[in-house]
Structure 1
């Protein structure tokens, strides 16, 4: 069913060869073990076969060449070493959401759910959260997630590694039962050589090449060892070229030997592979992902309380810093009048007081904006990078890039827009900032939204959540100095930096919305710099958000397996 010819994989810089022209035929409808010393290329071979890693050479499934992982949707499942289900979901929820992403028919989903729970032996634990499962149960749920599409072939990367002997035996027995009762083909990377008697065919990988395939008895004869436990000592006793030559000679002898007329031949190119189930459309996947994300949001108490704390706590900080100046702020929060302008011109003490109050207001506006950019960083920086392996795994099951990206964008924007709206409402009501409500709502909501999308873009581009978070923090940290509002920038740098600085446009748009108030007149008395209008600020913030969306789509379309 699965076979490959002359697969070669190198590192991106081309300096290191990870796989050296590996050729292998795997037994359909049986248990295939892939073994070899650590770092020899076992996982690389499997990922090259799946099309996850770029490789020279050819890999085939049922006689059809594999060009990309999408060719294998519904035909080959891939179970990584460790379960990558969402820890806050229950066993049943994990399987149900997986089914909703890959099977469109509700009746078929319900039938498969109950069947899978029974087959993997977790029906009694369906209400348990993934984070509370044992190691053996986690391996079972990993297999269960692969069975949602009912693929005829499953590739398992060390699914028994680290388990106690009883759990290991139970997982192997489950695989054997699936082979016997459902005709499944398993390709299993394993480390425990004592369990090779559970497998029908064994593939030995050594220093990036396949140097043997056959039964356990044939393996012992080929390597001249009493049992499989002596294999690695024997492998390391010779150079790779020795084993390559010996395996090539063995294959040549096998090809030359007469074939008994009635002996069965492996049907690699004629395997009967059923068509995968009809998948949901993009809208269905989008709605499923959005429901799952909100379920996780309200179930992750740590993240939920952090989000609530900064959403409602940061506006309180702004008000606290404004307390001493509230009487003066509220006294000036009126539309301009001729008497006010004349008094500013004639009364130096009044002018100084107005300038101080205006300085406080402009500082509070910038403080709001900086806090909103910090909220945006928190919203987006880890959102995709923290679950990148899960996303890549679900893409192998048919998840679309667009539905996933749009679900993430929708989720973070809803949070960001609420945070921006609440900041505007709370501070405006307490401090009585003048200016049109709708304009100021739009400006501050876009400040938080655009920064959220840019940081979400970083999260989509990086494999590591820590790297994405660090870059997002740096971006927020440079907002204040590069805005040119608090610290003057050299003229040559102003318009080099300013188009990219979220905080300047938020500050300028909010301040210029007070055009018909005393604050604006007082600000203009000693400051003649150009200040963007609310419309200009909204346009630039929207453009920055669009750039963030483009980064998200680009990052999600790239394959980034760890």
Structure 2
């Protein structure tokens, strides 16, 4: 049983406290199907999120099978399923692949046969077995809602919360979904709570909770709605609510609650006696009414019940979770097996494999990556002729004569030409790889944030998710950076220095791509929308060239402030320092910006990467459902 006692959820509005939920007290027993209805803004979704733990209640208590959800322990990921308003599946995957992914992320299976059995059972239960091979993007609205339900059922949750799963559907699809939810509440003692704007098909629910301005106006059987509100048609309920303050409706309900709960209890007992409703013996099957009202099933129990907590004992008798009950009451004596969450390594593997599958099925993304991979190096190679000129040196017999001065002038002009070409070619590679890094990561987390939040709610570890992103993006970084260096090398051989030379240059190209990818990944995790993340990432890349000092030296004071944050400067500076002495001198002849040692540049870029990853982890850990 789920019980809420005087639950409030308060926010600040213009400096004043505002109760979005005000003293909510309800009970939802095992195997119960309840609708939450009410006018827009009355607190329906807020209540659902508070039950789920996505909103932390400001006051009051929540209990689940006698366990205090705040002071003792929250729902286990396998105990609860939450179906949000938005789609929780990737368009590029099939129905079967979506359910398989959800199962592998939430349920530890011992064999492939067990995995297949779970998937097949859920497909049959939700009526999706004939659509298993269809991609999500071609499904209708009703089919997508069924898929959302299926992905939550893989762990066999005892509590299923549904937020507007019928909104936007045609009447037939809406009725089909409500019938499916009704059926799901009749098996394994699963409690189903559904938020809905619609007042159609209310007869399929066991109880209706009507909210008005965050307060309970009614919670009882659907047959009692019209009588309680004194209306002829349920469509007249919302206008009737507006005629009285919510305080009056709340006080009125408190006077009549006991009588309506008694009707719910009587109907529930009949369903169990008739075998229509089957509740596992491990579930809390306590009475909806007060201790003064004893249900028939309480009389048939052979063992004394033990109240789990003071508050629960005060509001109604509870069953002993270890107590076995005779099957003639419609109660199943066997408790379902506990579901374990897969290891972090298994989740990482599933997430990474799924990411690559989505990538290769997204034709637009693949074409863009190929175009960037081929086009950007070609752009750099167009300037190869400017950098392929040999460096001119002064003769050893330089004496300072007019001829020697002319030779010195010629050498100086040669250095200007070669130095500017080399500096430009290296900076061109650096900036293009920074742009690639931004493209790699700017939308990577923000673009699928809601899906990840849902999967995190279901037990996916943030560290597994982040590791899969780093591995996926890291692979792109290596391919892009090495290909850039090798391709350009065929047209403009990197002038070898006394040490690693070209290898150092490859390393700096990898580091700039990785640094920008990492920073943009952090931005993607911290921003609320993919549009915000993309815009900020574009600005970040846009400032790389002018603030690097590679074209025009910055004022010293400005350079001291901006240089630590400009990754392109450190990659460009490190590659210039990797050049041979004559080519490095040629570059220094045309730049005024100070350069830094190779190791310093490597360390700074490594710090950029670490900062980006830490920011990404903080953003992933932070709750960002809305």
TM-score by length of 1: 0.93
1:212 aligns with 2:237: no
Q: Which residues in structure 2 correspond to 1:300-315 (within 5 Å)?
A: 300-315=362-377
Structure 2 partner of 1:557: 621
Structure 1 partner of 2:602: 538
Distance 1:32 1:448, change over 3 A: same
Residue 371 of structure 1: which of 425, 432, 449 is its match?
432
Distance 1:222 1:268, change over 3 A: farther
Q: Which protein has the bigger helix share?
A: 1
Structure 1 partner of 2:46: 44
1:331 aligns with 2:390: yes
Q: Which runs of 5+ in 1 are unaligned?
A: none
CA distance in 2, matches of 1:260, 1:380: 60
Structure 2 partner of 1:478: 543
Structure 1 partner of 2:559: 494
Structure 1 residue 257 displacement after superposition: 10
Is the 1:293–1:411 contact (alpha carbons within 8 Å) kept by the matching residues of 2? yes
In the TM superposition, what whole-angstrom CA distance separates every residue of 1:258-306 from its partner, at most 9, and x where no partner exists? 5356376977786788564112111111011000000000000111111
CA distance in 2, matches of 1:510, 1:429: 18
In the TM superposition, what whole-angstrom CA distance separates every residue of 1:173-195 from its partner, at most 9, and x where no partner exists? 22222222333211011122121
Distance 1:445 1:308, change over 3 A: same
1:316 aligns with 2:378: yes
Tell me the secondary structure at the aligned position of residue 347 of structure 1. Answer: helix
Is the 1:62–1:269 contact (alpha carbons within 8 Å) kept by the matching residues of 2? no
Structure 1 partner of 2:70: 67
Q: RMSD of aligned C-alpha atoms?
A: 2.5
Q: Which residues in structure 2 correspond to 1:407-446 (within 5 Å)?
A: 407-435=468-496, 436-446=501-511
Structure 1 residue 348 displacement after superposition: 0.7
Distance 1:260 1:276, change over 3 A: closer
Q: Which residues in structure 2 correspond to 1:147-546 (within 5 Å)?
A: 147-251=153-257, 259=293, 262=296, 274=336, 276-320=338-382, 322-326=383-387, 329-332=388-391, 339=395, 346-435=407-496, 436-514=501-579, 516-525=580-589, 527=591, 529-546=593-610
Q: Which runs of 5+ in 2 are unaligned?
A: 262-288, 300-315, 323-334, 399-403
**In the comparison of the two structures, how many residue pairs are matched?**
555
Is the 1:64–1:269 contact (alpha carbons within 8 Å) kept by the matching residues of 2? no
Distance 1:350 1:85, change over 3 A: same
Is the 1:341–1:521 contact (alpha carbons within 8 Å) kept by the matching residues of 2? no
Tell me the secondary structure at the aligned position of residue 11 of structure 1. Answer: strand
Rg (Cα) greater in structure: 2
Distance 1:67 1:338, change over 3 A: farther
Distance 1:206 1:518, change over 3 A: same
In the TM superposition, what whole-angstrom CA distance separates every residue of 1:79-122 from its partner, at most 9, and x where no partner exists? 11233201100000001111111122133322110101111111
1:88 aligns with 2:92: yes
Residue 108 of structure 2: which of 90, 104, 108 is its match?
104
Is the 2:7–2:61 contact (alpha carbons within 8 Å) kept by the matching residues of 1? yes
Distance 1:344 1:301, change over 3 A: farther
CA distance in 1, matches of 2:318, 2:453: 28
Structure 1 residue 125 displacement after superposition: 1.1
Distance 1:21 1:340, change over 3 A: farther
Question: Moved runs in structure 1, 4+ residues, more than 6 A?
Answer: 252-257, 265-269, 340-345
Distance 1:12 1:377, change over 3 A: farther
